[in-house]
Structure 1
Amino acid sequence: MASRSLFLALRRRCRHNGLVNNDFQSSIRERFNLSRFFSSGALSNDFLEQIPNCLENDDLRSRIFRLRLPKRSVTNVLEKWVSDGNQIAISELRQISRELRKSQRFKHALEISEWMVTHEECELSDSDYAVRIDLMTKVFGIDAAERYFEGLPLTAKTSESYAALLHSYAGAKLTEKAEELYKGIKDSNLSFDALIYNEMMTLFMSVGQVEKVLLVVEDLKRKKVAPDIFTYNLWISSHAAALDIDEARRILDEMSCDPSSNESWVRYINLTNIYITTGHLHNADSNSLVEVDKSITQREWITYDFLIILYAGLGNKDKVDQIWQSLRMTKKKMTSRNYICILSSYLMLGHVKEVGEAIDQWKHSTTTNFDTLACKRVLDAFTDIGLTEIANNFSMLLIQKNCDLHK
């Protein structure tokens, strides 16, 4: 405490004498030999966080970002800032919140959101409510976010807040809750863009319910909502997963005629057409497809499953092996769709040994979501062509993973 008192006394003297920050920096380092304190850890976090940032710009953002631990209170910083006679602009709070979220400091960002809610001078926007739902999901869980959404006045239940809650459900793969909310969205008089539909398509793809993707596309078209590049990506991928390459081609044709088509869309279409065109596929460079596709973002380029199926259709086992290996090396959590895709591809190629190896890999995975209809089709295929041992092995896998084909 003595050090802190001396620090503040010297700071007041520097202000009284009109010293600028650089002068103050020199004075304070000479008086306290701060470099020794900082390097030795002699100054506690509490002390450092309470010191006004005299060595830098002493603004609100700096004070908030000096909080080192989640338990430190942003609310206290805001109240102190106001009590010192400073103003807080809502635009500044939004910017600080965005930066905190990028740094994954969700608890501190939520405190800013709570400040905005409790101060009437802050006029909240639709985006503010949506951000709060997302932050509550991350900090307190989906139940808290759900309760907050339900308690909102009707005027605040906008397309953005609905989208935020749906995103929370989809991220947690709460399919039933997501479908119930999606139904409410469709029945409402609100106007939605492609984001809502993309969320549902992504959810269905992630849990292996590929057949439901087409239903979402039909809803989108019925509502006359313009699809974006991600809508097309998910739509094409769903048909690729179902081995319907002709339909994937048709969607590409539709995409090229879309009035919203722009340069990035053309690049995506051209890339996909290269994969579909037999000559280019056979002559493609032997380097990893992960390396080849670094020129565009992960979300823009066609899915691994699609590529596996295309190369399987061309009889190029080396490429199938290569892509499957690349997929397994990523941090992406595998789904039943991924495994069914590789099993189907190796089956098409007639490589029974690799089919058995893929089933063994599936057994050791943490996959818990299953597309029961697709699994049944694969099991029936094994049985129909006389692969009894493979069929029995696959049945044991489904039993091990608690996948009930009789549901």
Structure 2
Amino acid sequence: MASSSLFAAARRLLRLGGRGRSGILPSRAAASSSRSKSEEERPPPVRRPRLESTLWPLGHPGTLLVPEIELWAARPGNRLRAVELQRIVKELRKRRRHRQALEVSEWMNHNGHVKFQPKDHAVHLDLIGEIHGVAAAETYFDNLSDSDKTEKPYGALLNCYTRELLVDKALAHFQKMKELGFVFSTLPYNNLMGLYTNLGQHERVPSVIAQMKSNGIIPDNFSYRICINSYGARADFFGLENTLEEMECEPQITVDWNTYAVVASNYIKGNLREKAYSALQKAESKIDKRDPDPYNHLITLYGHLGDKSEVKRLWALQMSNCKRHINKDYTTMLAVLVKLDEITEAEALLKEWESSKNAFDFQVPNVLLTGYRQKDLLEKAEMLLDDFLKKGKTPPSISWAIVAIGYAEKGNVVKAYELTKNALRVYSSNSGWIPRPSMIEMILKYLGDEGELKDVETFVDLLKVAVPMNSDMTEALSMARAREETKVKETNA
């Protein structure tokens, strides 16, 4: 019946003699054609850029985001939404752009765009601790109302203490949280385990996870990973494998790719290559193929194994499966290629990155510059810097300094001086770069012994912006002035 009705429909279409192929009468077809042509000629509506897509290209951590947000909000049709601002702060933290996250968090609170709940206070407190230190975080916590002092701000302050390795404060605060009934999740225990890990006291980690279990709290993936890592750090692979087996048998836990990656990393450090490959295969079977983060981790681990074929296979999968390829993906792959001595391929990848539409960030070429320095290819490093200058991209201080350090390590003080001078000329206080003291000492000694007075004065003036005036600078200036005075006397004699 179905096939006969299809044939009947086909015959009906063929009997539409004077009608067009579409089965529409000519006059209607013409009108339809006219409408479709006008629709084709009409340009598609311009989609306004979302706030997030406006901010992410501003990759330099020193860039102020609030003026950009206000500029976006001032455009017709744009509206700031609390949930979007909170998402931006979360993503900035994920990208480790803490200063910008704090800037946006302060602005959205003070301007009333978001009415802060305890969870928002917790995020803000953690950012204050990250940027301004524990004392500032404590002040913020003390000024919160009692109703806002829930387990979340308490937990954020504990995180500040553990991050700064303040054992006594962390333990006292943890005890206070227990008394208030705020230790009912894995997070405070994980903070303590992280504290002992960062102190190198790996033997104390298993007792914390045991305490967690005795209090009726089931460890999560992160808890188990810290514990697995603690065994790996002590090369206790029996303990590591027992913990992994316990985790795999726990019905409320789904072992994720990251856990198997941690296991693989420890096997690599222990030179247990076969076990490392097995763990890496299990990790890959667990990944979300559209998420770039697992690929970056696994590429790095295969790089540690020196397995170029697996590195390239995973990179190809990442390129085909992931919609976006951010700068972090390129820096990861560049670092692995450099590690594997694949400099030519790294150079090709850098060109590929340049031709992408990603925000230009010197952190990407800095990976190759560091590789050039490590491989004693300093002329290539200088050529790369020159190429960027020709393209109108001014390298920041750190880029010049990478190459300067290479020349200093070879004892070529003249080149180190010239490149350090370039670094100081573009110095910015929020760049995070500090001149290496040993290299500066070497340059100042050279200038004091051989430099022209005007060159020494210029260098010291540039240097004073980055570091406080010190005896090495004073001595270099004194020696250069004394030499200049001697020259003048000899000339006049």
Structure-1-length-normalised TM-score: 0.47
The structure showing larger relative contact order (alpha-carbon pairs under 8 Å, at least 6 residues apart) is 1
